[in-house]
Structure 1
Amino acid sequence: MGIRWHHSAVHCLAVLALTVIGSGSGPILGAETGDLNTQSGSTRLAAEPDAENVDQSDLSDAMSRIRDLEALVAAMQAESSNQVPLTLGTGEEPPSQRVPQPDPSTHHGVYDSGWTWRPHTSQASPFELTVGLHNQFRYTGFARDEATSVDSAGNVRELNNRNDFNINRGRLVLSGYAFDEDLRFYSNIDYSTVTSNPIQLLLGWISFRMSDRLTIYLGLGKLPGTWEWTETSRYTLGADRTMATTFFRPSITAGVWAKGKLTDNVAYHVLIGNGYNTLSLQASELDTQLAYSALAWWEPWEEFGPGFSDIEEHRSPAIRLGHGLTQTRNASSSNADPAAEQTVIRLSDGTRLIEPNAIAPGVTVNAFDIWLYSAHFGIKRRGFSFSSEVFLRWLRNIESDTGSRLPSLIDQGFFVQSGVFVIPQTLELFARGSQVNGEYGSGEEVSAGFNWHLFNQRSARFTFDVTSIDDSPAQQSRTGYVAGASGTLFRSQLWTFF
């Protein structure tokens, strides 16, 4: 309505109405109470010369009408602002709760292992989003024993010293649920300075929880064939996964998988996917053989918890015992070139299996079956931890590019590691070793170092370790292992997760 009166204006009008009635105008407040007149600039009742004897009911009635006028003006203001008008009382000032208030937000922001946008109650909008940031900043130094090495295919490999800083793993993680708390999503965007793809989608899926016994996942995930591989790289005991795990483990693929518990203390993780290592491959680069992988473990007493360090300080022994199996057929592409997913498989001296002449002179492997079996054991108690895993890998039905069948190959390996907190939940000393053996050679490592857990929790950790390597069969840019290399590896890093 365009009216913008202040309540003080109402008071002024009321006083004016009380003071201007002496000029012959009739009674304003009712004849039964007498007339109001003005004398010598003061206000008093015409029926009574003494103002102190004025009937109080007349004054109360006047003030009541003033308050009604104030309420009317407030209602007009509310209407002009497209608000619901105030309910007019009968002489009482309208309570504040009568003024319409905006609905409170259905969500609020909190920090819960990441920045979380969460509903206030279960009746609120069914949506939650958590944004987390992992960052692994590492210094790597490597002093080589030899400048070159020769693989089983006769190739001479140049080995370099290292002295550099890198972001080995950076992760922007988005997770939460939508529509229903059991319908969840996860997206892990990786960035690094040590890979050919500095930014890529590393993991991503949608999951639906059926019960504690079963959750179904669809998307891009890890083949769960070995224990240390399925644990996040943030929770390794040293700066990274062991050499043996790096050599044997499967990788990432698109597929369908399930996780849950068969009983209260037996858990499982099974997956069917495109292949052994198909993270960045397109459909034209895949063969038609699927990969099958499973991991199951038993925790008979306390819950073992994440990772390998006992930062939780279990008061009684927490034991984990389990095993895993992965199987797939790797076939060549239609143009007889080795399939792209085959390049991750190496012989025990670090030579790629599909490298020409790797198995024998004049022979190139074109297809093969992989069977990988692992078994693991771990224990935690009062800041002490011990963990180990053994690996057996069979390469069967090996075919050459000429179609001939080659003998099967068996490789085996293991890792052992142990840590103890010398300052509870803060400073942990550790040592570990791993080994790989096979027909084409063997390699091993021995390592020692410490973890400094900042803020007494896992989400911020400084690690330093020194590793002696002898003929590494493993190679991966993130871990720092180079096939055929021997020497001393120094790593110091800060892992943070916000």
Structure 2
Amino acid sequence: MQTNPVICCFRLGYLEIIAMRRKHGHFANRGRRWPSVLLALVALWTYASPAQSQQVSLTPLIASDHASDVPLSDAMRRIEQLEQSVFELQHRRPTGLIEEDDLICFDAPAPESPSHYPIYDAGWTLRPYDADKTPFELTIGFHNQLRYTGFSRDEATTIDAAGNVNAIPNRNDFDVNRGRLVFSGYALDRDLGFYANIDYSTVASSSIQPLLTWISFRQSDALTLYMGLGKVPGTWEWQQTSRYTLGADRTLATTFFRPSITAGIWGNGRLGDTVSYTVFVGNGFNTLTLRSSDLDTNFVYSALAWWEPLGDFGVGFSDQEQHDHMAIRLGHGLTQTQNDSTSSDQSGAEQTVVRLSDGTRLIEPNALATGITVNAFDVWLYTVHLGLKKQGYSFSSEVFMRWLRNIEGTGGTQLESLFDSGFYVQSGVFVIPKKLELFARGSAVTGNFGTGSEVAAGVNWHLFDARSARFTFDVTDIRDSPAEQSRTGYVAGESGTLVRAQLWTFF
């Protein structure tokens, strides 16, 4: 079959344009490709206009003495080469070079659908359409606790068990006691979770620091394994997030007895429908800000288990859920660790958080005996708790028992063991369901060096009928505080009236 030279020239120029656009983008290298493009346009014009074709000879276009003209057979080979080039370029699909509205397109594949979509779910969440195909989800949350604190002291100074005279300050200030930027989700597999809590504060020693961070492996409802920086469980009120306390913060008794945060491995889960647990092995009782050079070689071991025989108790202590039927939580916990002296027969950095019942640090020189400084001891902490919720009413209580054993002082002096006990009781009622709650609470600590206590009353206003924004106002009468902690606002040895007003927001 005879090849029409006009069609041949048109195909040659047309494929030149396609190849040029596919390889280089729109009209790239125009100077080098214009002879073929011009050839195709002239042929198309000649073929489409019979009147003009009688006056214009095709021979000069096909066979010419000019060096740039190409014989028909060469043009056909060039067409085949260009067709092959276009086919290959179509299957490469170079990113960003071919526009979606490109008019010259040969069977171009449709663009892939997006793998994720944004949604709000207790934070800004990037969620996959198909978690099996793209197993990654990220939620970014923001928490903020702005508090006004006012304190009117009864006395300007106190004297502790070691004979030190300590000043008791009045207070009248605003602070961000807790601010949290939280990243959480899963990656690689839906059962491989991650969590990172970046804390900022105007009251802590470090204004910005990682607070809780971990990787989790979910095995089943019965066990999820965690590795990272976490809470030593110890007590119920400590295990619950500070967002869910009944008052502005945790009670005085919890602040005195509770462990804190350390690096370690832990697991939690449910055994059947009614029993839950968490177990923990970590570096120490409270090592959040410590480095390996500050630690002794002893681990802390802690477990907390609870029973909910009548159904899900829910988080926190307020009956925000408005349970139609009674919900009960009954549980207990045990924590144990040893604290060794340093190589120079001195107290270790891990030991600074343990206090006597009058607020004196256990390792303060002369605290237990004149001329003696404690540098080694064991801690055993046992707790029992009970919680009730029904139709907006709530009651909760926890009892603490702590033994300090194998107490050793400088020079190898062996000292007597100490036992301290304490408790809190608290109750609340929603006078406007899910919105306005009145509460009262009290707590106390008793030991060899005296008794400290608090009694408080206040109101919680849930701004949006939910836990995401809560305004709290409470007034507390404190007598001889045994506890001291910057976030809760207690100062060891103080007596007086504490007023707190705060807004907790988290979204």
Question: Structure 1-normalised TM-score?
Answer: 0.83
Cα deviation, 1:251-303, whole Å, max 9, x if unaligned, reads 11111111011221101000011111111111111111111000000000120
Q: Return closer, same or farther for 1:197/1:17 CA change in 2, 3 Å cut-off.
A: same
Question: What pairs with 1:90-101 in structure 2 (closer than 5 Å)?
Answer: 100-101=109-110
CA contact (8 A) 1:275 1:289 kept: yes
TM-superposed CA distance for 1:124, in Å, is 3.0
Q: Which residue of 2 is the match for residue 130 of structure 1?
A: 139
C-alpha displacement of 1:123: 3.0
Residue aligning to 2:386: 377
Q: How far 1:84 sits from its partner (Å)?
A: 10
How far the C-alpha of 1:23 sits from its partner, in A, is 8.6
Distance 1:435 1:18, change over 3 A: same
Partners of 1:81 and 1:421 in 2: how far apart?
Answer: 63
Cα separation, 1, equivalents of 2:411 and 2:440: 47
- Residues 284-335 of structure 1: CA deviation (Å, up to 9, x unaligned): 1111111100000000012011111111101111100000000011111112
Deviation of the 1:412 alpha carbon: 0.4
- Alignment partner, residue 368 of structure 1: 377
Q: How far apart in 2 are the matches of 1:249 and 1:233?
A: 13
**SS of residue paired to 2:412:** coil
Choose which of 261, 276, 280 in structure 2 pairs with 1:267: 276
* Displacement after TM superposition at 1:101 (Å): 2.9
Distance (whole Å) between structure 1 residues aligned to residue 239 and residue 342 of structure 2 = 29
CA–CA distance in 2 between the matches of 1:178 and 1:23? 69
After superposition, residues 233-272 of structure 1 pair within 5 angstroms as 233-272=242-281
Q: Give the CA deviation at 1:405.
A: 1.1
For the structure 1 residues 24 and 437, does the alpha-carbon distance in structure 2 shift closer, same or farther, using more than 3 Å as the test? closer
Q: Distance in 2 between matches of 1:383 and 1:149?
A: 42
What's 2:168 paired with? Answer: 159
CA RMSD of aligned residues (A): 2.5
Shift of 1:17: 10
- Matched residue pairs, number? 433
Partner of 2:288: 279
Within 2, Cα distance between the matches of 1:433 and 1:178? 44
Q: Over residues 173-226 of structure 1, what are the superposed CA-to-partner deviations in whole Å (9 max), with x where a residue is unaligned?
A: 111111101111111111100011101111111110011001111111111110
Structure 1 Cα separation of the partners of residues 457 and 437 of structure 2: 11
Query: Could you tell me how far 1:155 is from its partner in structure 2?
Result: 0.4
Aligned equivalent of 2:410, options 401, 413, 417: 401
Any gaps of 5 or more consecutive residues in structure 2? 1-16, 28-41, 55-85, 91-96
Q: Alpha-carbon deviations, 1:362-381, whole Å to 9, x = none?
A: 22111111000000000111
C-alpha distance in 1 between matches for 2:136 and 2:48: 63
SS of the counterpart of 2:464? helix
Once the two structures are TM-superposed, the CA of residue 21 in structure 1 deviates from its matched residue by 5.5
Equivalent residue for 2:328?
Answer: 319
Q: Take 1:19 and 1:186, find their aligned partners in 2: how far apart are those partners?
A: 70
Report if aligned partners of 2:47, 2:53 keep a CA contact under 8 Å in 1: no
Offset of 1:235 from its aligned partner? 0.5
Alignment of 1:363-442 (within 5 A): 363-442=372-451
Give me the TM-score of the superposition, normalised by structure 2.
0.81
**Paired letter, 2:227:** L
Q: 1:112 aligns with which of 90, 110, 121?
A: 121
Alignment match of 1:358 (pick from 337, 357, 367): 367
Where in structure 2 are the equivalents of 1:117-196 lying within 5 Å? Answer: 117-196=126-205
**What is the CA-CA distance between 1:86 and the residue it aligns to?**
4.5
Instruction: Give the deviation of 1:431 after TM superposition.
Output: 0.5
Q: Is the 8 A contact 2:46 2:52 kept in 1?
A: no
**Unmatched segments (≥5 aa) in structure 1:** 6-12, 26-74, 88-97
Give the 3-state SS of the residue equivalent to 1:245 in structure 2: helix
Alpha carbons of structure 1 residues 138 and 99: separation in structure 2 relative to 1, 3 Å: same
Partner of 1:338: 347
Q: Which residue of structure 2 lines up, in the alignment, with residue 59 of structure 1? A: none
Whether the aligned pair in 2 keeps the contact of 1:107 and 1:124 (CA below 8 Å) is no
CA distance in 2 between counterparts of 1:221 and 1:334 reads: 28
Contact 1:357 1:363 in 2 (8 A): yes
| Contact 2:306-2:329 at 8 Å conserved across structures | yes
In 2: Cα distance, 1:23 partner to 1:235 partner: 89
d(CA) in 2 for partners of 1:395 and 1:123?
Answer: 52
**AA in 2 matched with 1:178:** A
Say whether 1:450 aligns with 2:459. Answer: yes
Q: 2:485 aligns with which of 439, 463, 476?
A: 476
